[in-house]
């Protein structure tokens, strides 16, 4: 398999020059033979080499791969135990470079064999699972389940090719690159067509007729247009679905998340600027990554933070095909450029997107930078427990958390039970909330006095008040109620209590 990937890249430059399905070649081809609607990813290579190369090495491209020689396997089959070598000898396709399947002559379906590749060695696996019935529609491009069982042409291309996400390419190529003949979209529907799911308790079927993928979906459609589709909705107020019970629920969770609804607050805000849309839209995040400026002249056409805002479907050097290192990716929107270690915020400003500042303990004026034991924990460790795309922390005291499921805190705090972890969390957040109510009430008194008399404070006291406004904004806009960095939050509040008392005493 690794040789197969390397070969693709090695031949890339030469193939670009010789690509058969360029527009002129395709036209010549059609004089003698009808060109199929789906023409394969190789046809895209000549014009889109920058996308083709990373895609060719991605999990999408190599999801299903034919096995013709020993070099096509992830490791030499002869390294497997003797009984597993017999299984591998039957294999005609690999799936995700780890499972192996062959055509079952009785059912006419491809089924998994009793062997898998662990990443380092071949090991035994439960055989017989029906790949054709359960996986083929999402593991290949243009799978046609109406063809006779076992038909060799049941799919146009092994793996997830260009046309799986962009639609059939024939008319685009014949039209010499006519963009109206191909689908290019940052909408989440195309990802959701395979990365959505349904409760396994209901059979895991996506379609009412029992099919496990959305039959009839094409990339230019909305998933809601697929008749018979039954995606299980996710309630964001509850614990994320158990991944051991549900299959590929990323889309369902994303749709219910703040990311999936990121435009709601911005579209309802008359003062929203291009900067707001930069972090609240997929196009904005992409523009930021490319170093370009987001055009908001057609705001109604912008997408919420869809899958492609964070993931590059063509391939990436980062895990999960993320566009950048996961921590940098989160910080690109959840950190404020106005503050940084050693760089306090400007007095009187309100620090939005202060998650990183609060977590790592920096940015407050006159308060010592203070990291906590949570400061070294990554965003995804807490907000993506079990890979959940609600980006929700699973609290140890969540009322609907099953006894058999781990909460987020378990990742690190394995030496305590849920009740202990819940007590700590409740104590931090209740202390934070109580202090916040008192501080906010006192700050309102000062704000009202300044509205009535803008000279109600001396310059020195006004500076204390402005610094307090800014410092409190760091922890209030953080939203964790002290959980990110309780020590730093308490230090800010202690300083604020002292300064507020001084300011109130000096009010004219």
Give pLDDT tens digits along the chain (508 positions). Answer: 444 444 344 444 444 333 444 444 444 444 446 899 999 999 999 999 999 999 999 999 999 999 999 999 999 999 999 999 999 999 999 999 999 999 999 888 999 999 999 999 999 999 999 999 989 999 999 998 787 766 666 899 999 999 999 999 999 999 999 999 999 999 999 999 999 888 777 667 788 888 889 999 999 999 999 999 988 889 999 999 988 877 767 999 999 999 999 999 898 888 888 889 999 999 999 998 888 999 988 888 999 999 999 999 999 999 999 999 999 999 999 999 899 999 999 999 999 999 999 999 999 999 999 999 999 999 999 999 999 999 999 999 999 999 888 899 988 998 888 999 999 999 999 999 999 999 999 999 999 999 999 999 999 999 999 999 999 999 999 999 999 999 999 999 999 999 999 999 999 8
- pLDDT, tens digit, for every residue of 78-120? 999 999 999 999 999 999 999 999 999 988 899 999 999 999 9
* Nearest C-alpha neighbor of 311 from the set 457, 190, 407, 464: 190
Kindly state the helix (H) or strand (E) to which residue 473 belongs, with its residue range. helix 459-478
Which tokens in the block code for residue 440? Answer: 């906010």
Residues of the chain with CATH 1.20.140: 356-377+412-505
The answer to whether residues 508 and 397 touch, using CB atoms and an 8 Å cutoff, is no
**How many helices (H) and strands (E) would you count in the chain?**
22, 7
- Give 137-178 as a 3 state SS string: HHHEECCCCCCCCCCCCCCCEECCCHHHHHCCCHHHHHCCCC
The answer to whether residues 362 and 342 touch, using CB atoms and an 8 Å cutoff, is yes
User: Angle at the Cα of 13 (from 9 to 17), degrees rounded to 5?
Assistant: 140
Please tell me the total number of residues recorded for the chain in this structure: 508
Kindly state the helix (H) or strand (E) to which residue 287 belongs, with its residue range. helix 282-290
Residue showing tokens 């490791």: 75
Give domain 356-377+412-505's CATH number out of 1.10.260, 1.20.950, 1.20.140, 2.60.40: 1.20.140
pTM: 0.88
């Amino acid at each position: 398999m690794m040789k197969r990937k390397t070969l693709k890249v090695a031949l890339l430059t030469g193939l670009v020059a010789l690509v058969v399905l360029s527009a002129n070649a395709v036209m010549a081809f059609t004089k003698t033979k009808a060109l199929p609607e789906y023409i394969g990813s190789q046809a895209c290579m000549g014009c889109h080499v920058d996308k083709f190369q990373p895609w060719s090495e991605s999990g999408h491209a190599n999801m299903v791969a034919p096995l013709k020689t020993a070099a096509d396997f992830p490791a030499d089959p002869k390294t497997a135990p003797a009984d597993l070598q017999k299984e591998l000898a039957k294999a005609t396709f690999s799936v995700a470079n780890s499972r192996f399947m062959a055509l079952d002559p009785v059912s006419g379906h491809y089924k998994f064999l009793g062997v898998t590749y662990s990443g380092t060695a071949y090991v035994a696996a439960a055989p017989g699972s029906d790949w054709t019935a359960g996986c083929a529609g999402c593991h290949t491009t243009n799978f046609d389940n109406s063809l006779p069982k076992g038909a060799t042409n049941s799919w146009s291309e092994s793996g997830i090719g260009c046309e799986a996400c962009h639609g059939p390419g024939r008319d685009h190529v014949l039209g010499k690159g006519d963009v109206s003949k191909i689908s290019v979209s940052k909408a989440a529907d195309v990802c959701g067509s395979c990365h959505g799911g349904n409760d396994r308790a209901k059979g895991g079927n996506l379609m009412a007729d029992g099919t496990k993928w959305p039959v009839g979906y094409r990339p230019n459609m909305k998933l809601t247009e697929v008749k018979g589709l039954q995606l299980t909705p996710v309630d964001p107020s509850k614990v994320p679905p158990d991944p051991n019970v549900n299959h590929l629920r990323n889309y369902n969770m994303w749709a219910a998340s703040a990311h999936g609804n990121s435009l709601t607050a911005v579209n309802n805000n008359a003062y929203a600027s291009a900067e707001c849309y930069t972090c609240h839209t997929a196009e904005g995040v992409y523009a930021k990554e490319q170093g370009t400026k987001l055009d908001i002249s057609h705001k109604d056409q912008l997408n919420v933070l869809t899958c492609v805002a964070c993931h590059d479907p063509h391939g990436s050097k980062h895990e999960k095909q993320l566009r950048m290192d996961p921590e940098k990716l989160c910080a690109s929107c959840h950190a404020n450029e106005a503050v940084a270690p050693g760089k306090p915020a400007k007095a009187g400003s309100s620090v939005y997107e202060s998650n990183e500042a609060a977590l790592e303990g920096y940015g407050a004026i006159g308060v010592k930078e203070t990291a906590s034991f949570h400061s070294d924990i990554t965003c995804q460790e807490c907000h993506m427990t079990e890979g959940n795309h609600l980006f929700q922390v699973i609290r140890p005291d969540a009322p609907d958390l099953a006894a058999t499921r781990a909460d987020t805190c378990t990742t690190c705090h394995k030496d305590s039970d849920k009740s202990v972890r819940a007590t700590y969390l409740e104590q931090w957040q209740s202390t934070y909330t109580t202090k916040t109510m008192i501080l906010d009430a006192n700050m309102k008194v000062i704000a009202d006095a300044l509205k009535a008399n803008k000279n109600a404070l001396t310059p020195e006291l006004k500076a204390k008040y402005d610094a307090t406004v800014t410092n409190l904004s760091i922890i209030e806009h953080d939203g964790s109620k002290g959980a990110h960095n309780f020590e730093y939050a308490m230090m800010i509040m202690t300083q604020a209590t002292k300064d507020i008392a001084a300011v109130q005493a000096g009010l004219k």
